[in-house]
Structure 1
Amino acid sequence: MKAPLVTILDDEPAIRSMLSDALEEAGFRTMAFSRATEFEAAIRQTKPDVCLVDLSLPDRDGLTLVHRLALEQGATVIIISGRAQVQDRVTGLELGADDYIIKPFDPAEVVARIRARLRRDAPAPQTGDTARFNGWTAHFARYALEDETGVETPFSHAEGEVLRLFLERPKRLISRQAMQEALGGAAGDSFDRAMDVRISRLRTKLREDPKNPRLIKTIYGAGYIFLGDVNWG
């Protein structure tokens, strides 16, 4: 079995070298790029398990790239950036990033976060890659929701994490704290806002009435509950 592949996109040679050395020593395979165009050409040929993406790129807007990666590639996306403002972190998570690491950082922390993300991404033993519920089929292997007529709508890796959490715990209250513990990330306003955005997008893709959703119910002050009947496999 091949070691997980981590792609590194950063225009600073010292950071690319530092991350590559730390990750390879930890047993990962790596590919490093200084420009988004080279990175995008490479991932058309191979699928990374984790993408480390700097936001300050010389040839592309990093946030736009993160959003496209999260929606189309299905890889875990971790932002590495010198932008430490809360709004930057919130925006990155809202656009689909799975984690946000602020420069300067210890490469050992990056390795630990990648390992933690990959452990969370591993399918739970009792579930698989396909779940059926209320006329919908969720295909987690290809990050798509299929309706009864066969029309598919893509969802991001981050949205898929939330959807899987709901589908694995149907008709059970899931508190904000439980979501934070299951999905990772620091608790606080940025996590709460990112969850609100992801749940809102899932409701839109499930064609829910935002004023009266049938499947994903908000229990104010307590959390969320998924009311569908779910069958895996």
Structure 2
Amino acid sequence: MSERRLIYIIDDERDICDIVSRELGAYGFDVETFLTGAQLKKALSVRSPDLCIVDLGLPDMDGIELVKSLCEQANMGVVILSGRDSITDRVLGLELGADDYIVKPFIPRELIARVNSLFRRLKKNAHENDTSVIKIAQFAGWRYDPSTLTLSGGLSGDNDAGEGAEFSSAEHELLMLLLHSPRKILSRDQLLGERVSPFDRSIDVRMSRVRKKIESNPKHPTLIKTVYGVGYILTADVEWI
């Protein structure tokens, strides 16, 4: 039997914690719930989960800051579950590296579908990162190592990322799709993959973050170009070594 996934739920509404915990438990996940950010941080010092589902309206700390700190930890998915439904909050959450953003009120079955979709993507990434088969991508002077999610070398100029830039799991997923299909136009549907979120803006936000790390001038990209009305294309050749 495969190891059960561990999910942490952080929400100051106990009823929400109970609903989400019950639904996830019914689908075979191990779940722990927390009402404050402090409780979560204490638990993280003991054991890291496979996924954190985070409410932004916490009583003891800024939920956005918590999401930012969680997204900086490797091998952990982050899903925002919030009553804040403004475009600004959604874009900010995704820019910080969250894998998905779900607005309350929500349909529990949809939450399960998104969680399962996220874990399928993480499993695929883990397979790609298997050190026994891993290869490093070279393109336009850059070297990208999927096993460490790090970028090195690259362009001179005003690019602040430069040597040793690190990618989040969501940025890695997007870059790998481009690296495996150089000089081919990829539609937004292809880039979304199994994501069930209808929030198409998420791809544009993630693409913007990737561009900031590989483009000499992200406002006028030359490596990842937008094909308006269609999708995106990586304009460089890629060599796997």
User: 1:8 is paired with a residue of what secondary structure?
Assistant: strand
Q: What is the match of residue 50 of structure 1? A: 51
Contact 2:113 2:196 in 1 (8 A): no
Q: Sort the Cα spacing of 1:100 and 1:164 in 2 relative to 1 into closer, same or farther, 3 A.
A: same
Q: Look up the equivalent residue of 1:199 and give its one-letter code.
A: M
Q: How many residues align?
A: 228
Q: Look up the equivalent residue of 2:80 and give its one-letter code.
A: I
Q: What is the match of residue 197 of structure 1? A: 205
Select the residue among 125, 135, 138 that pairs with 1:133.
Answer: 138
Contact 1:71 1:155 in 2 (8 A): no
Q: Sort the Cα spacing of 1:163 and 1:45 in 2 relative to 1 into closer, same or farther, 3 A.
A: farther
TM-score, normalisation: structure 2: 0.80
CA distance in 2, matches of 1:125, 1:88: 29
User: 2:72 is paired with a residue of what secondary structure?
Assistant: helix
Identical residues among aligned pairs (%): 40
CA distance in 1, matches of 2:83, 2:232: 34
TM-score, normalisation: structure 1: 0.83
User: 1:123 is paired with a residue of what secondary structure?
Assistant: helix
Q: Sort the Cα spacing of 1:58 and 1:143 in 2 relative to 1 into closer, same or farther, 3 A.
A: farther
Q: Look up the equivalent residue of 2:81 and give its one-letter code.
A: I
Structure 2 counterparts to residues 1-233 of structure 1, below 5 A: 1-123=2-124, 127-128=128-129, 130=134, 131-134=136-139, 135-147=141-153, 151-181=163-193, 183-187=195-199, 191-192=200-201, 194-210=202-218, 212-232=220-240
Q: Look up the equivalent residue of 1:145 and give its one-letter code.
A: L
CA distance in 2, matches of 1:206, 1:47: 30
Gaps of 5+ in 1: none
After superposition, the CA RMSD in angstroms is 2.8
Q: Look up the equivalent residue of 1:146 and give its one-letter code.
A: S
- TM-fit CA distance, 1:17: 2.1
User: 1:122 is paired with a residue of what secondary structure?
Assistant: helix
